[in-house]
Amino acid sequence: MKFSGASLFAAVSGASLFAAVSSSNTFADASLIRKGGQPDGLKALFFDVQGTLVDFYSTITREGEAFSAVRGFQADWTTVTEQWRAEYRSRLDQVIKGERPWTTTDRIYREALDGILANHPWGASLNSADRDELNSLWSKLIPWDDTAPGLARLRSKYITSTLSNGSMASVLRISKLGALPFDAILTAELVRSSKPDPKVYQLALDSVGIEAHQAMMVACHKYDLQAAKRLGFKVAFIARPFEFGPNKKVDTKPEQYFDYYANSVVELAGMLGA
Please give the torsion angle defined by the CA atoms of residues 115, 120, 121 and 127, in that order, rounded to the nearest 10 degrees: -40
79, 105, 139 - which closes a domain: 139
The answer to whether position 4 is within a domain reads no
67-122: per-residue pLDDT in tens?
A: 999 999 999 999 999 999 999 999 999 998 999 999 999 999 999 999 999 999 99
Q: Are residues 180 and 49 in the same domain?
A: yes
The answer to whether position 3 is within a domain reads no
With contact defined as beta carbons under 8 Å apart, do 207 and 186 qualify? Answer: yes
Q: What is the CATH number of the domain that holds 171?
A: 3.40.50.1000
Q: Please name the amino acid found at residue 21.
A: V
232-246: per-residue pLDDT in tens?
A: 999 999 999 999 998
Express as a percent the part of the chain with pLDDT over 90. 82
Residue 177: half-sphere exposure toward Cβ, Cα within 13 Å: 17
Q: Are residues 71 and 130 in the same domain?
A: yes
Q: How many domains does the chain have?
A: 2
The answer to whether position 91 is within a domain reads yes
The answer to whether position 11 is within a domain reads no
Q: Are residues 159 and 258 in the same domain?
A: yes
153-185: per-residue pLDDT in tens?
A: 999 999 999 999 999 999 999 999 999 999 999
Name the residue range of residue 92's domain. Answer: 56-139
Residue 182 labelled as part of a binding site: yes
194-205: per-residue pLDDT in tens?
A: 999 999 999 999
Banded pLDDT at 40 (limits 50, 70, 90): confident
Q: Are residues 177 and 89 in the same domain?
A: no
- pLDDT for the residue 7: 34
Q: Are residues 267 and 204 in the same domain?
A: yes
- pLDDT for the residue 20: 32
Q: Are residues 219 and 194 in the same domain?
A: yes
Q: What is the CATH number of the domain that holds 100?
A: 1.10.150.240
179-190: per-residue pLDDT in tens?
A: 999 999 999 999
The answer to whether position 174 is within a domain reads yes
253-262: per-residue pLDDT in tens?
A: 889 999 999 9
